[in-house]
Amino acid sequence: MLSERRWDAIVCIVAAVIALALVFLFAPSSASRTVVGLAAIGLFVAGYAAIGRAAVEPPRAAWRYPAFLSVAAVAVGIGVGAAPFMAMLQTLAYPLVWVIGDSRQRGIGGSVVIAGSVFVGVIIGYGADIDSVLAGATTAVFSLAFAIAIGLWIARIAEYGEERERLLTELTAAQGQVEALSRERGASAERERLARDIHDTLAQTLAGLVIFAERAGRQSRDGQADAAASTIATVEQVARDALAEARALVARTGAVPREPAFAAAVERLVERFRAQGRAAIELDTDGVAANLDRETQVVLLRCLQEALSNAAKHADADLVRVRVRVEPDGLAALEVTDDGRGFAPAAPGAGFGLDGMRERVALAGGAFEVASTTGGGTALRVRLPPAQPGRPDDVRGGPA
């Protein structure tokens, strides 16, 4: 909708043009008719300024519409009665009636009133003969039909605009809700990721420290000074690893080596668990023929770390076999088997352990399998697809 100032400009300009044309181009037969026509223009402008202008924009007082319609109808009727050219006042009257009326019913009703005033003005100004009646009726009917058609079209456009504004408001509100839910979901996912990272790095390393400290204590009590010193040196190294892992977590980086030599990283991890002395560990990395992307390395190393930790703490195994390979098509696989006491995979367990590995592998789009029977050992298998271009760093629990 146009603002009050724009309507002010339109009314003043159109009224001035009609007045000039009335005086210089389409002057009526007598000067008195010219004066009456100019007076009609003045009445219309005054009615707009005093009554109609305040009703152009909402809120609109209920009395302003009938009051302005009455003034406009009188001004148009008087003007047309003074000079046929004054029918041009309809170009202002019809739009303002629709704008101030603010509804289809009022717009149509007001248009009928203005058309009737044109007809009455023709009859009053030129008599009630057949020619005047036909001329007045033709002018009124055609102008009324045009005004209603244009008015309905504009009303439809206005309603469409209001509907779009409403939908846009609702969409903006919905987007705000989605953003809030997204932030909440992102925070929840970040908490879960940090929980997995802490469990798979610091918790595992600290558990190893406890084991080494207990061993050093036993060796010290048994008088094995050299063995105790060696174990203490291992404790120192593991503690340094724990500090590095903590710093990596704070910096939002994965607690895995940064160099691309993945096989060497696996060997160091296996060597750490060998130092615990619980079980012999056989390692096969001959199948690692190509460098893996960092995210795949993170998942495999974290799963291997968890599997070896479980074997050390729960399986009571004598032998653990670790095999890592990369297929020609880029698929990465990890297999960890032991000859320990096994367990029932369907039984509920405590901690993040298997559930954390399963979730991590699932996020990477891979497959996770655990086969175990009580007394029959355990076999864990992880398969990860080749890295996809454009994959975000934290999809597989790696650095954010």
Q: In which element (H, E) is residue 98 found? A: helix 90-101
Q: Could you say which DSSP state residue 255 is in?
A: S
Nearest C-alpha neighbor of 87 from the set 55, 52, 115, 48: 115
Residue 379 falls inside a structural domain: yes
| Partners of 325 in the β-ladder | 287, 333
How many distinct structural domains can be found in the chain? Answer: 2
Q: Please give the Cα distance from 96 to 73 (Å, whole number).
A: 12
Residue 88 falls inside a structural domain: yes
- How crowded is residue 105: how many other Cβ atoms within 10 Å of its Cβ? 8
% of the chain with per-residue pLDDT over 90 = 22
**Concatenated DSSP letters of 142-193:** HHHHHHHHHHHHHHHHHHHHHHHHHHHHHHHHHHHHHHHHHHHHHHHHHHHH
pLDDT band at 64 (very low <50, low <70, confident <90, very high): very high
pLDDT value of position 394: 43
- Give 315-333 pLDDT, tens digit per residue: 888 899 999 988 888 889 9
Residue 122 falls inside a structural domain: yes
- Give 180-227 pLDDT, tens digit per residue: 777 777 667 667 767 766 766 667 777 777 887 888 888 888 888 888
Residues contacting residue 371 through CB under 8 Å, at least 6 positions apart: 345, 378, 379, 380, 381
Residue 85 falls inside a structural domain: yes
- Give 244-301 pLDDT, tens digit per residue: 667 656 644 444 444 446 787 788 888 878 877 667 889 998 777 666 777 888 888 8
Beta strand 378-384 with 332-338 is antiparallel
Same domain, 261 and 398: yes
Residue 110 falls inside a structural domain: yes
Residue 175 falls inside a structural domain: no
Name the domain boundary from 128, 151, 182: 128
Instruction: Find the domain containing 286 and state its range.
Output: 257-400
- Cα distance between the two ends of the chain: 50
Contact 233, 227 (CB under 8 A): no
Name the domain boundary from 98, 128, 158: 128
Site of tokens 């809120």: 59
Q: Does residue 105 surpass a pLDDT of 90?
A: no
Nearest C-alpha neighbor of 124 from the set 136, 114, 110: 136
Residue bearing the bigger pLDDT, 143 or 256? 143
The enclosing domain of 298 has a CATH number of: 3.30.565.10
Residue bearing the bigger pLDDT, 74 or 242? 74
- How high does pLDDT run on average in the chain? 81
Residue 205 falls inside a structural domain: no
Residue 158 falls inside a structural domain: no
Name the domain boundary from 66, 97, 128: 128
**Tally: H helices and E strands in the chain:** 11, 5
